[in-house]
Amino acid sequence: KDTKLPQVLKIFYSFFDTLNDALIVLTRWIIALTPVGVFSLVSFSVAKFGINVMLSLWKYALTVILGLLIHAFLNLPLLGFIFGRYNAYRYFFQVKDALVLAFSTASSAATLPVSLKVSQEKGGVKKSVAGFILPLGATINMDGTALYEAVAAVFIANLFGIKLGFLQMVTIFLTATLASIGAAAIPGAGLVMLTLVLNSTGIPLEGIGLIIAVDRFLDMLRTSVNVWGDLNGAKIVNKFSSFK
């Protein structure tokens, strides 16, 4: 709003300023409507598949949680031990601040500044390595999201009584990995990218209406695993890097 600006720029400025305000108002309306929307989507699914489907939703959520825990506490530590020669459980406590933040924000991008800080200050990762690997990882390396998308796709296929053959399983595996690479590091991005996985194997998109009910909690967990994967990647590369 600098008065020295030429008139035309002032018009541009106030146009975008007003547009921004309008979008914020729209976003607030959408956020206020979200509980009603989720309730309607879930009611639709329950009406279509029966109340028993809510029970299987718990089994689905537990499968995702179990998969994420195995990946976080067995796979990644094993990789860390084999390639990085470090104790991932000790590292876990050193970088826990980033993991807690990932859990509470459900966003790898929002967690990035803290991941950068703790990996260097407490985890002993070099600045050059952390500065390259962590932003790259936050954008493209989402192991938790890939795992969740694969489980969700199989769950929805079962719900609709679709039998998945070997080829379809491979397609789910590949598209889930690609979708996780393409997912933005923000809350709920994995759910949006799930449409890609479902489309590739001809699984009906309506299934998303059901799993959306438990998605926020799973999002928090998978984001922590995504960030934990990045932090382990940085620690492993740190071992091989000769940069200061």
The contact set with ligand ASP (CB under 6 A) reads 106-108, 142, 145, 183, 185-190, 219, 222-223, 226
- Least distance between ligand ASP and beta carbon 161 (Å): 27
Tokens (6 digits) for 137: 């990882």
- Least distance between ligand ASP and beta carbon 97 (Å): 17
Please, where are the H alpha helices in the chain?
A: 7-49, 52-70, 76-79, 88-94, 96-105, 108-121, 127-140, 143-159, 166-182, 189-201, 208-211, 215-240
226/232 with CB nearer ligand ASP: 226
Q: Could you write out the DSSP letters of every residue in 42-71?
A: HHHHHHHH-THHHHHHHHHHHHHHHHHHHI
* Burial of 232 from C-beta contacts in 10 A (0-12 / 13-18 / 19+): buried
- Torsional sign, CA 206, 209, 214, 216: positive
102/237 with CB nearer ligand ASP: 102
How far apart, in whole angstroms, are the C-alpha atoms of residue 62 and residue 206? 21
67/188 with CB nearer ligand ASP: 188
57/142 with CB nearer ligand ASP: 142
How far apart, in whole angstroms, are the C-alpha atoms of residue 67 and residue 199? 23
Which residue minimizes CB distance to ligand ASP?
190
86/108 with CB nearer ligand ASP: 108
- Least distance between ligand ASP and beta carbon 179 (Å): 9
- Least distance between ligand ASP and beta carbon 180 (Å): 7
- Least distance between ligand ASP and beta carbon 218 (Å): 9
Q: Are 234 and 186 in contact (CB under 8 A)?
A: no
- Least distance between ligand ASP and beta carbon 172 (Å): 16
86/144 with CB nearer ligand ASP: 144
- Least distance between ligand ASP and beta carbon 192 (Å): 8
88/225 with CB nearer ligand ASP: 225
- Torsional sign, CA 170, 61, 64, 221: positive
